[in-house]
Chain A
């Protein structure tokens, strides 16, 4: 068949496919027309018709392929199911990396805390005297943070916590592609920092109460978020180090798809923590006892959620 006849014969089909490419969902007879299009493309190639015709049909086929196979699946309310069931289950399923991440954090924090506790001078090898005194001044009675704070400075701190903490969360995860080392380093660094500041401020009777009552509530979400982000990064690193029967690339891809919900959960927790930190932890009018109680309740709730939510449901 001459090309001209061929074009005339199938022009109707091509035009109808071109017209339906604009819509979002394919019509009922679209798969049939798509297969007919593929047939004409194969014929045009095999018979050596002109390159411009083959190129045009290839573009059409690409668009039709995307329309047909790229249509999003209809799914149940994924978000609620994810919150109630899938996220805590995933955390429990990955308990090894979560424990590893938690262990690294606690170990470094405890190590630094012990060192500083035994001899306060060690603190200066992790941080400068200026920075330490800055932290002290932050948690002293009646200063910056615990003075009269208004809504606008709460908003400032909220913006800052989002920018800083959630970005850290993402970086901890991304560091995992370097064989997990990036995540380990980030978590360990945060452990050192936390251990140092917590011990330093605990040893100072002026700040101990202010510090612990300030951090206890949002730490329930923020530290958990950091640990989970670190665990997600470690899972990436492990996927490269121990690919099993997959190639390293395939193993990395599979692990990433599986672990992404955990990272998102960690990011959401960090986001909520920023909210609490800016608008609750900083309130000076709450007595420390109330903060301790609320913080304790939140810790219990988070642990209960991660340990028990979604068990026993199908």
Chain B
């Protein structure tokens, strides 16, 4: 299927839904992290200035802080923040191993040290080229460490399906076709009316009517398929 997902098989015979995140999202996360590091750095500079050390001691401490912010910040956050630096957390992406499991020290250190190579010649130019050449948007560090940056699963509320009167299908449908009907009925609330009716018209061979009537009929079938809906209405036909 061409849906941008990676379908990873597990020993239990199911597939894990992971969606690799592309360069724009990751650039945004990096930018946010950059701002956080800058703010953190400024705050540390403020703290270092407080006790009134001499100038050279202050500069030495600042260089140490700069070192930690450059190299340790992404490593520590990714290892202890389940694959997310603060920027990635806000953007909603996450680093995982290429088998979908959380990363450990090895992966976290490798992929972040290789930033030095990905950053070349400037602003992650090489990393971008590597991402575009790779089917899973991996930069050099990701290839080396065997990691992926994927979208974090979002907490979705289960959508309430529009209720209808349960109705039997006029002829049997294949599971994929039943799935398509359910998918459409679930999403119909989010579509503009014109589009909704246009799609409902496509089901005319099944519903034998068009527009609002067809949509209503599809909702009835969906209710029949899932077992959802009003128990029985006196005027409903079996």
Contact = CB atoms under 8 A, between A and B. Distances in A.
B80 interface: no
Contacts, number: 158
Contact of A156 (B13, B60, B70): B60
A59 B153 contact: yes
Contacts of B57: 151-153, 155-156
B117 interface: yes
Interface in A52-89: 52-53, 55-56, 58-59, 61-63, 65-66, 69-70, 72
Given A51-B183, A158-B60, A167-B67, A257 B101 contact: no
Given A174-B116, A260-B106, A4 B100 contact: no
Contacts of A34: 12
Contacts of B113: 170, 173-174, 263
19 contacts: A2-B226, A3-B228, A4-B227, A48-B176, A48-B178, A50-B161, A50-B186, A52-B186, A59-B156, A62-B153, A66-B102, A155-B56, A156-B63, A167-B71, A173-B116, A253-B144, A256-B144, A256-B145, A257-B106
A188 interface: no
B76 interface: no
A290 to B, nearest CB: 25
Nearest to A56: B158
Interface residues of A, number: 60
B61 interface: yes
Contact of A163 (B64, B143, B186): B64
Interface of A: 2-5, 34-35, 38, 41-42, 46-53, 55-56, 58-59, 61-63, 65-66, 69-70, 72, 151-160, 162-163, 166-167, 170-171, 173-175, 177-178, 182, 236, 249, 252-253, 256-257, 260, 263-264
B54 interface: yes
Contacts of B186: 50-52
A61 B64 contact: no
Nearest to B61: A159
Given A56-B158, A62-B153, A156-B57, A252 B116 contact: no
A284 to B, nearest CB: 16
B157 to A, nearest CB: 9
A182 B16 CA distance: 38
The interface residues of chain B, by DSSP majority, are classed as helix
Contact of B101 (A69, A160, A178): A69
The interface residues of chain A, by DSSP majority, are classed as helix
B236 interface: no
Interface residues of B, number: 58
B183 A50 contact: yes
Contacts of B178: 48
Contacts of B176: 48
B59 interface: yes
Contacts of B102: 66, 70
A159 B156 contact: no
A34 B11 CA distance: 12
A49 B66 contact: no
Interface string B10-35: 10111011100000000000000000
Contacts of B45: none
Contacts of A252: 143-144
A33 B177 CA distance: 30
Contacts of A175: 116-117
A155 B61 contact: yes
Given A3-B225, A4-B228, A52-B156, 17 more contacts: A5-B227, A35-B12, A48-B182, A51-B182, A62-B153, A66-B101, A66-B102, A70-B102, A152-B57, A155-B61, A156-B59, A167-B71, A170-B113, A252-B143, A253-B144, A253-B145, A264-B109
A62 B67 contact: no
B60 A157 contact: yes
A61 B183 contact: no
A67 to B, nearest CB: 9
Nearest to B117: A174
Nearest to B107: A257
- What 8 A-B pairs come out closest when comparing CB atoms? A2-B227, A159-B63, A159-B60, A4-B227, A48-B175, A174-B116, A152-B57, A155-B60
Interface string B133-163: 0000000100111100000010010110100
B179 interface: yes
A159 B64 contact: yes
Nearest to B178: A48
A223 to B, nearest CB: 20
Contacts of B129: none
Interface in B157-173: 158-159, 161
Nearest to A47: B175
Listed residue (A154, A166, A174, A264) with the most chain B CB atoms within 10 angstroms of its CB: A174
Contacts of B64: 158-159, 162-163
